[in-house]
Amino acid sequence: MITFSIDKLKKEDIYLEGEAPPSFLEVPDSEMIAFKGNIHYKLHAALISGGILVKGSASAGYEGLCGRCLEKFRGEFGNPDICLFFDKFEGAELDVTEDIRTALVLEIPMNCICREDCRGLCHQCGTNLNKTKCNCQETAPGYKPWDKLNDLKL
C-alpha cells in the first residue's frame, strides 16, 4: 500500500521513498519475462489548489528471455515521470497504490530483447551471433532466403 496522510499533506509536502516485492505488479511471470528484485519508488506529494499532485518515479527489475538470441538477460523498466493529480479524495489517506501499479505495468517491455543491437541467431546454423561468427554468410555469399518466394507460381 502506498498512501499519503491527508492531514500531514495539509501541513507540508510529503516525500516518500520505498520498495515493494515483485508481486506488487500482480502480473504473473511468463516464459519471456520474470519479475525479479524489489520495485523502487520515489514520490513527492503536494497539496495544491484544487487537489493533490503526486510526482515521482518507479522502477522494477526483470529477467528476460531475448526474443532474438534466446539468452537470458537482466533488465530494468520503469516510469521516470509519474505525474498524478487527484481532485477528489476521501478519508484520512490518499491511496496511490493502484496508480503506481498501473504506471509501472504500462512500462513492461513488450518486445524482450537483450540489447538494441542483438545480432540474434543465424537462421541457418543457429549460432548465437553475439558470441561467435558462423561461416554461413561467407560460404553462400549470394544466399537470399526470400528468392525462393519469387519462384512460386501463384
Q: Should residue 125 be labelled a site residue for Zn ion when binding is judged by CB under 5 A?
A: yes
Q: For 101, what's the count of Cα atoms within 13 Å in the CB-facing half-sphere? A: 15
Residue type, 102: T
Q: How far is the CB of 120 from Zn ion (least distance, A)?
A: 6
Any bridge partners for residue 58, and if so which?
41, 79
Query: Is 69 one of the binding residues for Zn ion (CB under 5 A)?
Result: yes
**Does position 68 bind Zn ion by CB under 5 A?**
yes
CA atoms of 112 and 75, how far apart (whole Å): 9
According to the binding rule CB under 5 A, does residue 136 interact with Zn ion? yes
Regarding 46 and contact with Zn ion (CB under 5 A), the answer is: no
Beta strand pairing status for 51-65 and 72-86?
A: antiparallel
Q: Are 114 and 64 in contact (CB under 8 A)?
A: yes
Residue choice 58, 60, 66, 84 for contact with Zn ion (CB under 5 A): 66
CA distance 37 to 23: 10
Residues in binding contact with Zn ion, number by CB under 5 A: 11
Nearer to Zn ion, 23 or 137 (CB): 137
Q: Does 121 bind Zn ion (CB under 5 A)?
A: no
Per CB under 5 A, 140 contacts Zn ion: no
CB of 136 to Zn ion, least distance (A): 3
Helices (H), 2-146: 6-11, 97-105, 136-139
Cβ 55 vs Cβ 80: under 8 Å? no
Residue 32 interacts with Zn ion (CB under 5 A): yes or no: no
**124 sits near Zn ion (criterion: CB under 5 A):** yes
Give the footprint of Zn ion on this chain (CB under 5 A).
Answer: 66, 68-69, 114, 118, 122, 124-125, 127, 134, 136
